[in-house]
């Protein structure tokens, strides 16, 4: 009797481990951290009017840190030379805390392998505006519906040259702020997922 109980528990443990490993593998395939603050990942492209620092405030997700971004005027902050393709993912998601007492409009700019980096060629960029209300926001931007800003070609997620959050870079489009004041946001749990 005792040996049958032991066999049962051993079999149960083996099956549980197998199911757990499948679950972990499946969840890892459905989500990719774009920046991992727990590994001290920092933006690699930042202009001189933006101050990014790691913070322990307004954190969502399991990384234990957020990125405090201070915009002292027009600016951008993000990463270039993205190592892994985003082809298998549908959404660019993140949590953002708006420390101001008003809505703020930003843009996520993505430059795929067909994009040209100079501002005069911004019609080859993917520009996704989004609004942050005061307090915590959970932002989800659909990558599969994204098109290049000017030529309306579908985005090629197999090779991302760079991405960044921008503030006041597109005032001619009338969706971003135009005032001169400094703003602070906290970003956490930046990822692409299905």
Tens of pLDDT, residues 168-188: 877 666 656 666 679 999 999
Same domain, 69 and 160: yes
Secondary structure percentages of the chain, helix, strand, coil, to 5: 20, 40, 40
Same domain, 120 and 38: yes
Same domain, 173 and 83: yes
Same domain, 38 and 27: no
Residue 77: pLDDT band with limits 50, 70, 90: very high
Same domain, 110 and 17: no
Total domains present in the chain: 2
Same domain, 122 and 176: yes
Residue 12 domain boundaries: 1-32
Stretch 142-148: mean pLDDT: 82
Same domain, 25 and 44: no
Same domain, 167 and 110: yes
- Tell me the pTM: 0.78
Q: What is the CATH number of the domain that holds 166?
A: 2.60.120.430
Same domain, 103 and 52: yes
Same domain, 165 and 123: yes
Same domain, 147 and 75: yes
> What pLDDT, in 10s, does the model give residues 33-76?
998 888 888 988 899 999 999 999 998 888 889 999 999 988 99
Stretch 126-132: mean pLDDT: 89
Same domain, 12 and 52: no
């Amino acid at each position: 009797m005792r040996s049958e109980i032991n066999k049962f528990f051993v079999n149960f443990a083996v099956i549980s481990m197998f199911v757990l490993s499948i679950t972990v593998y499946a969840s890892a395939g459905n989500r990719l951290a774009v920046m991992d603050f727990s590994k001290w990942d920092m933006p690699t492209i930042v202009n001189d009017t933006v101050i990014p620092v790691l913070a322990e405030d307004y954190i969502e997700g399991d990384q234990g840190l957020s990125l405090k971004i201070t915009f002292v005027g027009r600016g951008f902050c993000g990463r270039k030379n993205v190592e892994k393709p985003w082809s298998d993912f549908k959404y660019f998601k993140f949590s953002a805390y708006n420390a101001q007492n008003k809505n703020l409009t930003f843009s996520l700019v993505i430059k795929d392998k067909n994009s040209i980096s100079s501002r005069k060629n911004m019609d080859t960029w993917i520009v996704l505006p989004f609004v942050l209300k005061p307090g915590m926001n959970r932002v989800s931007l659909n990558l599969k519906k994204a098109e290049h800003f000017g030529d309306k070609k579908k985005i090629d997620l197999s090779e991302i040259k760079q991405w960044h959050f921008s503030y006041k870079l597109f005032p001619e489009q009338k969706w971003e702020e135009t005032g001169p004041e400094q703003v602070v946001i906290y970003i956490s749990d930046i990822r692409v997922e299905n």
